[in-house]
Amino acid sequence: MKSFTYNDMDFSVESANGRWDISCKKPDGKSAYVGAGLFEGVPESEIESRVRTLVKSIFPVGIKVVGPDVAHPNRIGDLKIVGPDVTHPNFIYWDKDSSSFPKQAG
């Protein structure tokens, strides 16, 4: 079994019959499946990088799922104030410092 920590989550990677199962423990302590029966035929030396790539796709660092209420009808006169487009693929919201990517001094 291999394990690693990414984005404050602990991931476990287990081999079964030449295929790989991935699970994780989230910051709230709950366990979750990422996938099962994966990467058959992939050389073992490549497994860790394949797993890390997959995990980063499913749990992108720093993207907050719940953003501001962009539909809230804040108005100043005729001007409607709306928040940023939090659903835009390039929108990144740093909710908190991650232990994987700590804030750089200075």
Binding residues vs other proteins (CB under 8 A): 19, 21, 30-40, 50, 53-54, 57-58, 60, 63, 65, 87-89, 91
Whether 94 contacts 104, CB under 8 Å = no
Name the minimum Å distance from CB 51 to other proteins.
Answer: 9
Name the minimum Å distance from CB 104 to other proteins.
Answer: 25
Cβ-based nearer residue to other proteins, 54 or 98: 54
Q: Which residue type occupies 87?
A: T
